[in-house]
Amino acid sequence: MKNKSIAAAVLAVLVMVLSLSSCSLNQKGTEYKETDGGLMLYRYSGSSTETEFTVPDTYEGKPVVEIADFGLANAEYLTKITIGKNVQKINDWSLTNCPKLKEFAVDAENAYFTAVDGILYTKDLTEFVAYPNGKTELIRDSNDTVCGGGELILPAQCKRIRPNAAYLCGNLYTVQLNEGLEEIGDKAFLKCWHYSKLEIPSTVTTIGADAFSYMDSLKTLEIPANVQSIGDYAFYSTGSSIEKVVVHNTEENLELGKDWSPHKKNSVREKVPIEFVGTDR
């Protein structure tokens, strides 16, 4: 009996230690978890009175090096997020759907990320990371028709648009993608309803799943010759104003995802015609 009691006590201590080692660390509702090299910001919980949040350099003596998926997502009251100097990794779903967010800022000592005009990029500007959902209000004319709004002009160095970079940014009206851009990630511009003109650079090779889906305001769509793959639902729309999709390649040379092209306005089951005009490379 004595040996069983000792064994039970040891087991209880072991369970407690394991439990504590996997627990998150809390600070005013914000949770951190262990990760390689330090801590990740796991979940942010704010209030209606907190409109700005800074990812701290350290917490309990350990550097905060990562923002987890959904770590700062759905922060409905935040208007500004500042990235601390030790953050090395921001996951694809870390910053999505913050409806009032007007700007990102980054500590000047951070070696991995930077902000330009409130928009988040990697330090070398080769990757577009995130656009703040509430950066600019839409402009409407006297008939309540949208005639202006947010603007995004990618820097010349940009090679990649990360997944979800402008996810649900319905205030975007003008987007200028740079020559030299190669990859457009999954859901990069999903439901950017009022983004009305899309010119895909000739250097793009990959367009991800849902990259431009539900962009019902588009009037024209041309796919350049260098594009090699288009993901599922990349340009899906149930109410497109596009009359014809022009693809500067042959269908055989492309990896085409499921239901990648838009459907006609007022005709959900009928797709917009696609014209494959061969390659002009």
Of residues 106, 172, 179, 162, the one with CA closest to residue 134? 172
Determine, yes or no, domain membership for 9.
Answer: no
Query: Is there a single domain that holds both residue 121 and residue 144?
Result: no
pLDDT band of residue 14 (cuts 50, 70, 90) is very low
67 phi and psi, to 5 degrees? -115, 120
pLDDT above 50 (res 251): yes
Determine, yes or no, domain membership for 147.
Answer: yes
Instruction: Give the pLDDT confidence score for residue 150 in this predicted structure.
Output: 85
Least confident residue range of 115-129, 138-152, 188-202, 208-222: 138-152
Query: Is there a single domain that holds both residue 64 and residue 102?
Result: yes
Query: What are the pLDDT digits (tens) for 211-228?
Result: 999 988 888 999 999 999
Q: Which is more confidently placed, 74 or 141?
A: 74
Tell which of 113, 129, 145 closes a domain: 129
What is the C-alpha to C-alpha distance for residues 46 and 145, in angstroms, rounded to an integer? Answer: 35
Query: What are the pLDDT digits (tens) for 110-125?
Result: 999 999 999 999 999 9
Query: Is there a single domain that holds both residue 141 and residue 277?
Result: yes
Determine, yes or no, domain membership for 269.
Answer: yes
Query: Is there a single domain that holds both residue 234 and residue 249?
Result: yes
Instruction: Give the pLDDT confidence score for residue 279 in this predicted structure.
Output: 67
Q: Which is more confidently placed, 146 or 108?
A: 108
Average pLDDT, the chain: 89
pLDDT above 70 (res 135): yes
Determine, yes or no, domain membership for 18.
Answer: no
The dihedral sign for the CA sequence 173, 156, 189, 44? negative
Average pLDDT on 179-194 reads: 95
Largest CA distance in the chain: 86
Q: Which is more confidently placed, 256 or 27?
A: 256
Query: Is there a single domain that holds both residue 236 and residue 165?
Result: yes
What is the C-alpha to C-alpha distance for residues 45 and 53, in angstroms, rounded to an integer? Answer: 10
pLDDT band of residue 257 (cuts 50, 70, 90) is very high
Query: Is there a single domain that holds both residue 153 and residue 105?
Result: no
pLDDT band of residue 278 (cuts 50, 70, 90) is confident
Query: Is there a single domain that holds both residue 203 and residue 273?
Result: yes
Instruction: Give the pLDDT confidence score for residue 46 in this predicted structure.
Output: 87
Query: What are the pLDDT digits (tens) for 16-60?
Result: 444 444 445 666 679 999 999 999 999 998 889 999 999 999 999
